[in-house]
């Protein structure tokens, strides 16, 4: 499927995987709507895209864990670009600690951003996709959504939930020709991974945000009659 001229909204677009997704889609001629909390990141990315690619951008600072902010960002981007063809729920945070060590507020926050952020944006975007009888939703989950590990209770619970949410929504809306996909990367070389203390090793041997974006693009470019349900992407030979 040719993505040129399609409209996409990407959450967590300011950095890391979201930024790489925005650049990869813009390169294909997709009109990209950018959402994250830091307006400086969004401005910088929108300006880079306008300089490098012949496509339209829109951006809206928002905390996707808050439903009213998610709705306002969605409406702003829809007004600028037109109805959405692609929603990428990528915004996420991570920190690790045992159940008893991690402050409950931090545990709550991880669930609110990773799970509720995905839910809120899907909730606001789906009705228009159903009305138009088409659309693609891509949720960025994680290998942490497939297996638990010590200190990962909040992050793993959020990502297991994103996978359950993805599968339920896809069963609801595939009859509306809407494709719903979850990607499950292992550790990616981003600020999130570095700040959470995950092992990066030599950069050139490590999964990069651009690699995840390439997989996302490939799934979106499949013919509309098919979709990838879940796809993992791993570093070949981690250190
Ligand atoms: N890096 C990894 O190893 C890895 C592996 C598997 C899956 N993932 C998943 O991939 C996604 C992207 O992660 P990343 O590694 O690219 O992280 P990153 O480099 O830290 O970027 C995260 C982006 O999300 C935004 N964001 C955070 N909280 C937000 C909120 N409440 N509302 C709106 N935007 C928010 C951040 O901007 P602001 O702070 O300005 O809002 C930033 O632009 C996450 O869902 C993560 O769980 C990451």
Structure tokens at 107: 């545990």
In a domain, 217, yes or no: yes
Q: Does the beta carbon of 112 sit less than 6 angstroms from any atom of ligand 1?
A: no
Supply the pLDDT for residue 207. Answer: 96
Atom 46, ligand 1: residue with shortest CA distance: 92
Separation of CA 21 from chain center? 8
In a domain, 238, yes or no: no
Supply the pLDDT for residue 203. Answer: 83
Q: Does the beta carbon of 15 sit less than 6 angstroms from any atom of ligand 1?
A: yes
Atom 47, ligand 1: residue with shortest CA distance: 92
In a domain, 1, yes or no: no
In a domain, 174, yes or no: yes
In a domain, 226, yes or no: yes
Q: Indicate yes or no: pTM above 0.95.
A: yes
In a domain, 239, yes or no: no
Rounded to the nearest whole angstrom, what is the distance from the C-alpha of residue 225 to the centroid of ligand 1?
30
Backbone angles phi, psi at 194, to 5 degrees: -65, -45
Write the CATH number for 201.
Answer: 3.40.50.720
Give the model confidence (pLDDT) of 46-86 as tens digits.
999 999 999 999 999 999 999 999 999 999 999 999 999 99
Atom 5, ligand 1: residue with shortest CA distance: 187
Atom 3, ligand 1: residue with shortest CA distance: 187
d(C-alpha 58, C-alpha 234), whole Å:
31
Separation of CA 127 from chain center? 19
Q: Does the beta carbon of 65 sit less than 6 angstroms from any atom of ligand 1?
A: yes
Give the model confidence (pLDDT) of 20-56 as tens digits.
999 999 999 999 999 999 999 999 999 999 999 999 9
Helix (H) or strand (E) holding 137: strand 135-140
In a domain, 104, yes or no: yes
Give, for ligand 1, the residue of 91, 155, 208 to mutate: max count of ligand atoms closer than 8 Å to Cβ: 91
Per the annotation, the verdict on 155 as an active-site residue is yes
Q: Does the beta carbon of 7 sit less than 6 angstroms from any atom of ligand 1?
A: no
Supply the pLDDT for residue 202. Answer: 86
Supply the pLDDT for residue 199. Answer: 86
Q: Give me the number of domains the chain comprises.
A: 1
Residue ranges making up the domain that contains 121: 7-233
Tell me the H-state helices in the chain. Answer: 16-27, 39-52, 67-81, 104-111, 117-132, 153-173, 191-195, 209-221
In a domain, 155, yes or no: yes
Residues (pLDDT < 70) of the chain are none
């Amino acid at each position: 499927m040719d993505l040129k001229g399609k409209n996409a909204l990407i959450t967590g677009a300011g950095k890391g995987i979201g930024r790489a997704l925005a650049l990869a889609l813009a390169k294909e001629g997709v009109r990209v709507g950018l959402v994250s909390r830091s307006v400086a990141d969004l401005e910088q990315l929108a300006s880079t895209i306008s300089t490098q690619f012949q496509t339209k951008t829109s951006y809206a600072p928002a905390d996707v864990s808050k439903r009213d902010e998610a709705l306002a960002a969605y409406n702003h981007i829809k007004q600028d670009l037109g109805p959405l063809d692609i929603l990428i729920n990528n915004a996420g945070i991570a920190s690790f600690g045992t159940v008893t060590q991690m402050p409950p507020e931090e545990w709550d926050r991880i669930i609110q951003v990773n799970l509720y952020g995905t839910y809120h944006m899907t909730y606001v975007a789906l009705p228009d996709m159903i009305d138009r009888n088409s659309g693609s939703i891509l949720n960025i989950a994680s290998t942490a959504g497939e297996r638990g590990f010590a200190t990962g209770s909040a992050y793993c619970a959020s990502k297991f939930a994103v996978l359950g949410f993805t599968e339920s929504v896809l069963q609801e809306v595939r009859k509306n020709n809407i494709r719903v996909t979850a990607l499950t990367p292992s550790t990616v070389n981003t600020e999130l991974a570095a700040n959470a203390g995950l092992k990066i090793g030599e950069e050139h041997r490590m999964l990069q945000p651009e690699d995840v974006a390439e997989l996302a693009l490939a799934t979106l470019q499949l013919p509309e009659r098919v979709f990838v349900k879940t796809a993992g992407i791993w570093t070949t030979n981690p250190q």
